Amino acid sequence: MSGALEPASPENLRVLLQSEDFIVVDKHCDLRIDSKMWYEKNTVQAQLRQRFPLLADPLTYYGFRFCHQLDFSTSGALCVALNKAAAGRAYRCFKDRTVTKGYLALLRGRVEGENRTIDFSIGKTSTEGKTHMMCIEGTEGCENPKACQTELRVLEYGTYDGEPATKVLLEPLTGRTHQLRVHCSALGHPIVGDFTYSLGADSAPYRMMLHAHLLRLPLEPRALQVTAGDPFLPALDPKWLPQCTLRTAGGAVESLLDRAAAKEEEKDKEKKRKEEERRKEMKKKKNRKAESEEQKRPCQDWLSEWGTE
């Protein structure tokens, strides 16, 4: 697999999870999710239509409700809602930033430090010839930069095709376009094979080495959680040669999920606390109303007696 990939087709579409409400697929790299262009026949949308024709919804433009986006070059876990109610529930998770995502990546060079927080603000570039790209605040032509944050955990140090490389787990805490690619590039360690953010220089690898490995949506009554394998292994790509392991991908994911679980627990406690406060306030209002009625009664009795004299 070091030089090419099997072309995406309905037959090799890998389904990670399927329920009444959702399908999660392992998106092929270098594949669009959907397209309005008549000549683009090979998309995730087309794969789903051919593989699951009865699940397509004619009321939607693309036939399927994609809950989020993955770049053309990025592979991995992609969630699709199968009805409007499920799409709404998933949308709220993304809107409230309660979704946990973990991306595996190979970066150029040796990333120092086991854990890094990358917080460059990101905006859209207005520089001629680069308007399809994003940029960090302070660079020429960067418009409307917004705060962004990515957590980086180093997994392994090694080489890719003889050059120093680092395998990492990236956790985007915000959701800006091209966030992971821009953040890694700004850190001085662009993603291996990222043609766009290397300005066309990194063209030798057969793909961009960014993969959506973990996806967790804290839905009720049960969370949706999937992992989409690890394509960056020597057995799959012999050009990647790890030399020093700091932690496994599984261990890093567990750490990420533990932190997410702690946040969810804290949020649940806060929700219960607010509900208890609301209940107590309702009880107080009810008691005040009852007291008010008691206070009014002697006056009403007196008025009633006075009116009969």
Q: List, by residue number, the catalytic residues.
A: 71
Residues contacting residue 92 through CB under 8 Å, at least 6 positions apart: none
What tokens appear for 16 in the block?
A: 């990670």
Residue carrying structure tokens 């091209």: 178
What tokens appear for 249 in the block?
A: 């991908």
Cis preceding linkage at 298, omega within 30: no
48 within 8 A of 23, measured Cβ to Cβ: yes
How many CA atoms within 13 Å lie on the side-chain side of 57? 14
Say whether 75 sits in a helix, a strand or coil. Answer: strand
207 within 8 A of 193, measured Cβ to Cβ: yes
Backbone angles phi, psi at 162, to 5 degrees: 90, -10
For 217-254, the DSSP string reads E--SSS-EEEE-----STTT-TTEEEEEESS-HHHHHH
CA distances from 4 to 89, 100, 105, 159, 200 (A): 38, 31, 18, 19, 19
CA dihedral 77, 83, 87, 88 (to 10 degrees): -160
For the chain, the first-to-last Cα distance in angstroms comes to: 104
What is d(CA 210, CA 195) in angstroms, rounded to the nearest whole number?
12
